[in-house]
A = this chain, B = another copy of it.
Amino acid sequence: MPYIEINMTAGATKEQKEKLIEGITDLMVNILDKNPASTQVVIKELTAENWGIAGRSVKRLRAEGKTANISKA
């Protein structure tokens, strides 16, 4: 029954996405005894232009070389 939504900037590979889906589902099963068949994990990817942090888009932060201070990705 749980529905987990991951919001992040685009860039993950297919393999990384599979690992995320599998890993989060395992957590729901192991920690909460949820049924994996009804556990949904959804990935919403956003462009760097559409994600803002500290008052600026990640696109602008990257252009200014400042993302390292805020997030590795």
**Residues of A near any B CB (own CB < 8 A):** 1-9, 12, 14, 16-28, 31-46, 49-60, 70-73
Contact = CB atoms under 8 A, between A and B. Distances in A.
Overall SS of chain A's interface: mixed
7 contacts: A5-B7, A17-B50, A21-B55, A25-B55, A34-B71, A38-B38, A40-B40
Contacts of A70: 1, 35, 37-38
A3 B24 CA distance: 14
Given A7-B5, A70-B1, A37 B20 contact: no
Nearest to A59: B14
Listed from nearest, the 6 A-B pairs whose CB atoms lie closest are: A21-B52, A41-B52, A25-B55, A2-B8, A43-B50, A1-B71
